[in-house]
Amino acid sequence: MILETLLKYLSVLGVSMAKFLLGPLLGLSYGFNWLEIFLPTCSGMIATSILLSWAGLPLRQWLLSFRKTKPKLFTKRNRRMVRIWRSYGIKGIAFLSPLIFSPPGGTLIAVSFGERKRNIIFWMTLSAIFWGGVFSTVAIYAKEFLLKWAG
């Protein structure tokens, strides 16, 4: 029983590391309460930002070594990232990461623009806490609303 519950928490954490929005949904499907959804969801994004802040550039260089051609510099996606970076910096990237970029994407964008690791981790943590609270609350209230509406 304890191992099963631990695996559920770890699966919410793992899913949140890749796609933040899916963490609260998975926690909700397990029947978790607000805190049980919030903590592993936030921890997943924070873990991703720490891991990729330290390993981001070497990982990026390693992945690029497998490419046969150089990636295009001026794409629609790259222009959007530069525009957001110039307008809002690390704060904007961190704030939008759970919504648009995903935790790995937002962290790698910040790393590629040369942001300091400490700033990346700090702002991504604040973003994780804010959005984790929002998404956990929305998930709980949506469940209650659907249960009242259905029956």
| Tens digit of each residue's pLDDT (9 = 90 or more) over 54-109 | 987 787 778 778 877 877 778 887 888 888 889 999 999 999 999 988 999 999 88
pLDDT score, position 43: 97
pLDDT score, position 91: 94
Amino acid residing at 17: M
Phi and psi, residue 72, nearest 5° = -65, 140
Under 8 Å between Cβ of 110 and 57: no
pLDDT score, position 92: 92
**What are the b/e assignments for 52-78, b being 16+ CB within 10 Å?**
bbeebeeeeeeeeeeeeeeeeeeeeee
Alpha helix (H) residue ranges in 19-115: 22-29, 34-64, 76-96, 103-112
pLDDT score, position 131: 97
Average pLDDT over residues 115-125: 95
pLDDT score, position 40: 97
Q: Is 72 helix (H, G, I), strand (E, B) or coil?
A: coil
Q: What's the rounded Cα separation, in Å, for the pair 97 and 82? A: 14
Judged against a pLDDT cut of 70, whether residue 151 lies above it is answered with no
| Domain spans of the chain, in order of start | 23-58+74-150
pLDDT score, position 30: 94
